Chains A and B, each alone.
Chain A
Amino acid sequence: MKLLKYIMIITMGSFLLACEDTTPKSKGVYMLIDVSGTYTKEINKAQKIANYLLANLNSGDSLALAKIDSGSFSEKDIIAKVTFDIRPSTATAQKHQFKRKLDDFVAGAKPSSHTDISGAVLQASEYLRETNTNQKYIIIFSDLEEDLVKGHVRNFDIPLVNTKVIALNVTKLRTDNIDPRDYLKRLDAWEKRVYSGGGAWKVINDIDHLHKLLEG
């Protein structure tokens, strides 16, 4: 009888636990690749980072890859996007498909005349908001030098609540060598902009330390 009582308690406990709804910690990653001017040469590094993301994201996570060109607040700039299926086999198939799109993009990437980073970040923010993921990351693979088309308005706060913005491989421009303060100012300006939008900011220049990329 005692044994039966214990079994009943354990069963009821299990049911209670089952009723408790705990949301899984899913990740949403939006990667932006700068294709303006000479930065196109860095695209192979971007491919490496995207491959790392594909290898490390799991079922339930979302990944989108978009380019930063002259007017980036547009769905047209999204190269590939996917929310990985709950079944691992399907998720693997989705990764294969994603990789093919990435390879095609890398093979045919053309440099753009202008760089609309703000528009791209806003587009990323919108996308991540819709994915309903717990941890949101925007990875900007760019030198962070914005060059807008005349008439484009981007001087406003971008909503980035609960979003971590990671600047990757922020290369130094020729002018930065003359006055390094330009480089620091550029980083500082973006940091302020991200914080004012409610997000968090991080810079990773050494792409050999990619394990730090999706750390909480």
Chain B
Amino acid sequence: MNNSELLLIWSDNPTVSVVIWATLIILAMYLGRQSGHKFITALTGLLNTAFKITSETLINFEEKIVKRNKQVILHEGKQATERMIEREFHRVNSLVALDLSGYPAVQRKITDTINKIEADYQASNETPPSPPDWLEAVEAISKVKSKGDSAVDKILTNIQHSLETAHDETMKEYRKSSFNRLQYLKKMLPSWRCLSQTVDGMSKSITDLSDRADHIDKQMGIYEKIKAEDDKVANLLSVSSMTQFFISALVLIIAILGGVINFQLIALPMSEMVGGTSEIGGWKTADIAAMVIIMVEVAMGLFLLESLRVTNLFALIGSMDDKMRRRMMIVSLTILTILASVEASLAYMRDLLSMDREVLLQSLSGVASSNVEFRWIPSIGQMIMGFVLPFALAFVAIPLESFIHSSRTVIGIAVVNIVRVFVYVSNLLMQLTEQVGRISTHAYDMVIFLPLTIEQLGRHYKATREKGEKSYVDIESTGGNQ
């Protein structure tokens, strides 16, 4: 029995049949109104509860992730701050070891210089020339009156002459002595300069030390806040982590492009080594070999920077003793250099192969092969690129480390946001099912409005009648009593 047959089961006239069906349905719905309402309420209630549970679960999950994110961010921040403080202490240590270890020597130097200056100063003291012993005798003679006596005049003249000569000699002696004292003072000048420089140097070292101490204080302040799980610091670290993520991603993209160029340089000549026909997993073996070489170079770069303690990706390498680490550094640098040399030679071979192919194609197309001038320039360029690119790729370890560390935070933040969207959708659906339940109940009643109206009218009539009968009985009873 198909739908149309079912529709026309009551009458051949579709309208009559539809009316009968509608009446029956409305009647059935009217009779099962209570159950229908209960069904709608139960169904929407079920959905409502399901969405509510989902929403609550998601909120709990979100809270856990937020907590985990905060812990991750603070942990990362704590580690970074610890590293910075450690580095500052290393700097302070080297400053103390280099500059302040020489403090006793500097002090000795200063003392020696001061002693020397003092000695020179003592030596430069001006001692006034003592008056000659015969000065009183000369003074007495000078008081003698000549009274025209030529002998006395002669004696006085002689005395004057002797006096002048003595004066000249004394002056000469005095000048000489002054000159010597000046020489002593002059000798003091470099000592003063030396003293000044030494003191300046000391002052600079102390200032540097003071600056470092200030920086350590600041870092310690941040560290304390991180330890106290301060929200502001967590937010700041989160923003910083996002910035790091995007910057490192950008640098990684650049590195990948560099890797692609590197791949293009060595993929063709690689087929000379491993053959141009074999394939592994649908990929040319030559391409895979070229890829492997690049990957090994990146790995060597990672080990090199790790052993140099530039990055901190492998705890094992970080915890190695210095001797072992140095060995690892030498080994990875050697392998990297060998691979770079291999790449340079492969790049040269690529050039030869391209040239050979070019000649063949010219010959096949009937064009006479031409000798291009300065053909050696791209050859040399390719070789240099082949040698330099592996070393450039080695530095990918730095953005990679930054990317890995920051991606933990960024992924966490992304997950939180996604969960929040789901929470919102879940809440929305919860509200929606509640409203749909109400609307459905009203819609149900709308369909059976006719029997409902009749029922209401019947009730109203019954109530009015009962009220009338009650009034009559009351009147009757009241009249009876009278």
Cα–Cα distance between A2 and B365 once the two chains are bound (Å): 57
Known: A59-B277, A60-B276. A87 touches B271 (CB 8 A): yes
Chain B residues closer than 8 Å to A95, beta-carbon distance: 360, 364
CB–CB A17/B277 < 8 A: no
Convert B258-282 into 0s and 1s, putting 1 for each residue whose CB lies closer than 8 angstroms to a CB of A: 0000000000100110011111111
Chain A residues closer than 8 Å to B357, beta-carbon distance: 88, 92
Which of B278, B313, B361 is the one whose CB lies under 8 Å from A86?
B278
B442 to chain A, nearest CB (A): 58
Cα–Cα distance between A52 and B444 once the two chains are bound (Å): 79
Cα–Cα distance between A3 and B366 once the two chains are bound (Å): 57
Chain A residues closer than 8 Å to B282, beta-carbon distance: 22
Known: A92-B356, A95-B360. A87 touches B272 (CB 8 A): yes
CB–CB B277/A86 < 8 A: yes
CB–CB B281/A86 < 8 A: no
Cα–Cα distance between A175 and B115 once the two chains are bound (Å): 129
B414 to chain A, nearest CB (A): 20
Q: How large is the interface on A (under 10, 10 to 19, 20 to 34, 35 or more residues)?
A: 20 to 34
Check B142 for interface membership: any CB of A closer than 8 A: no
Convert B342-364 into 0s and 1s, putting 1 for each residue whose CB lies closer than 8 angstroms to a CB of A: 00000000001100110011011
CB–CB B365/A22 < 8 A: no
Which residue on B lies nearest to A13, using beta carbons? B281
CB–CB A88/B281 < 8 A: no
Cα–Cα distance between A60 and B285 once the two chains are bound (Å): 14
Which residue on A lies nearest to B278, using beta carbons? A24
Cα–Cα distance between A35 and B109 once the two chains are bound (Å): 106
CB–CB B281/A20 < 8 A: yes
- B281-338: which residues lie under 8 A (CB-CB) from chain A? 281-282, 313-314
CB–CB B276/A59 < 8 A: yes
Check A18 for interface membership: any CB of B closer than 8 A: yes
B218 to chain A, nearest CB (A): 33
Chain B residues closer than 8 Å to A129, beta-carbon distance: none
Cα–Cα distance between A88 and B366 once the two chains are bound (Å): 21
Cα–Cα distance between A99 and B361 once the two chains are bound (Å): 11
- B10-35: which residues lie under 8 A (CB-CB) from chain A? none
- A119-150: which residues lie under 8 A (CB-CB) from chain B? none
Cα–Cα distance between A86 and B356 once the two chains are bound (Å): 16
Check A115 for interface membership: any CB of B closer than 8 A: no
B169 to chain A, nearest CB (A): 97
CB–CB A17/B280 < 8 A: yes
Check A165 for interface membership: any CB of B closer than 8 A: no
Chain B residues closer than 8 Å to A23, beta-carbon distance: 279
10 contacts between A and B (CB under 8 A): A3-B313, A22-B279, A51-B364, A51-B365, A54-B360, A59-B275, A86-B276, A87-B271, A92-B356, A96-B363
Residues of B that sit less than 8 Å from A by CB? 268, 271-272, 275-282, 313-314, 352-353, 356-357, 360-361, 363-366
CB-CB nearest 3 A-B residue pairs:
A60-B277, A86-B275, A59-B276
| 7 additional contacts (CB under 8 A) given A24-B278, A26-B277, A52-B364 | A17-B281, A51-B366, A87-B275, A88-B276, A95-B364, A96-B363, A99-B360
